[in-house]
Structure 1
Amino acid sequence: MPESEVRKFSAITDPIDQISRIACIVGGVCLVAIFVLIASEIVARNLLGTSLPFSWDFAAYMMGGCVFLSAGATLKAGGHVRVTAIHDYLPQKGKQVLDAAACLVGLAICLVILFAVSDMAMLSFHRGSTSSSVVRTPLWIPQAVMAIGAVVLSLQMFAQLVRTIAGETLHNDADIEDQL
């Protein structure tokens, strides 16, 4: 496909890429917050003889947020596991068809995950479910963060499908090694 045709799709893919980058930054903030919470817990236990009752719960919630919010950017960067045993031996058109099929299957899986996590968050919200810990965190809050991450991953998978259809080459191992 000519460069002008590929650029037409950038109006779709560029905003999705930006959303993925922002979500990944928030995921990184969650990772730093996990470190701060666990370090604070260790200091509180060892120096003050007390525990922070919320630290482990909030760290677990942030871990879910970190994983889900960073998944879209990881997909864009080619960081997810990809088996290329057949892919590497196909002609370019075969690679494109295989990539498109993989993106379609991946998008279907992402949408199932999105539905499941969103449904779980909505159910927790409607039931007023809270954690069983002392803090009694409303569970829909961390579940909603996971649902937002699932939206971002689904959007990024759609963007990857658009790129494949437009004839762009998705990341391969050499691209990833160059980024490291």
Structure 2
Amino acid sequence: MNRLLTLIDRLSRLAELAAVTLIFGYCILMLTEVVARAQARSFSFTWEYSQYAMAAVFALASGPAIRTAVHVRISLLTEKLPAGVARGMDVVANLVALIIVAAIVNAMWTKVSVSFDRNILATSVSKTPLWIPQAIILWGFAQLWLDLLARSIRRIANQQFEWRGADKEQADV
């Protein structure tokens, strides 16, 4: 079981790295467009690819956000409950989230498959095959499912399940 959890953690870090890389790519695209517009020009692909990048960043970063506990949480109720009850509620919430995210992954898989099989292209000038950005988003949601699974396993086994402040510098601690 520990090997599976370690693998999920490594995949989560890879998704996190991809999200950070895409953020930098997004910034470069937007800066390129700003410079081009300052010279009375524009690149048609910058807006299209920046939209793909932002959607991918959202999907790729959602799993690592669960792992490091930086996602939005409402803990008003769980802070008032006994630890055992709060843990039980968290396990149930994670299992419900696994079902919901599985439905999202299934829908994205269908979308990517249809786009690939039919060779659907973007309606823009670039004619990007849509399965490419959709596959990156699918990867992100699949990683979210894996991170939720790892969290659920760790909660049930009463192991450490969050890495709060895992990315902080030692000077920040």
Q: Say whether the fold is shared (TM-score over 0.5).
A: yes
Count of residues in correspondence between the two structures: 169
- Whole-angstrom distance in 2 between the partners of 1:84 and 1:167: 19
Deviation at 1:103, TM superposition (A): 0.6
> What is the letter of the counterpart of residue 46 of structure 2?
S
Query: Are 1:31 and 2:47 an aligned pair?
Result: no
Q: Residue 63 of structure 2 aligns with which residue?
A: 72
- TM-score, normalised by the number of residues in structure 1: 0.87
Structure 2 counterparts to residues 147-162 of structure 1, below 5 A: 147-162=138-153
Whose helix fraction is larger, Structure 1's or Structure 2's?
A: 1
Gaps of 5+ in 1: 1-8
Query: Are 1:118 and 2:109 an aligned pair?
Result: yes
Identity %, equivalent residues? 30
Deviation at 1:168, TM superposition (A): 2.7
Query: Are 1:57 and 2:48 an aligned pair?
Result: yes
- Candidates 120, 124, 131, aligned match of 1:133: 124
Q: Residue 107 of structure 1 aligns with which residue?
A: 98
Secondary structure (helix, strand or coil) at the match of 2:44 reads coil
- Candidates 68, 79, 91, aligned match of 1:88: 79
Deviations 1:8-55, CA, capped at 9 Å, x for gaps: x432212111100111111100000000001001101112x2211110
The runs of at least 4 aligned residues of structure 1 exceeding 6 Å deviation read: none
Deviation at 1:99, TM superposition (A): 1.0
> What is the letter of the counterpart of residue 51 of structure 2?
A
Q: Residue 5 of structure 1 aligns with which residue?
A: none
Query: Are 1:18 and 2:19 an aligned pair?
Result: no
- RMSD of the TM alignment (CA)? 1.9
- Candidates 32, 42, 55, aligned match of 2:34: 42
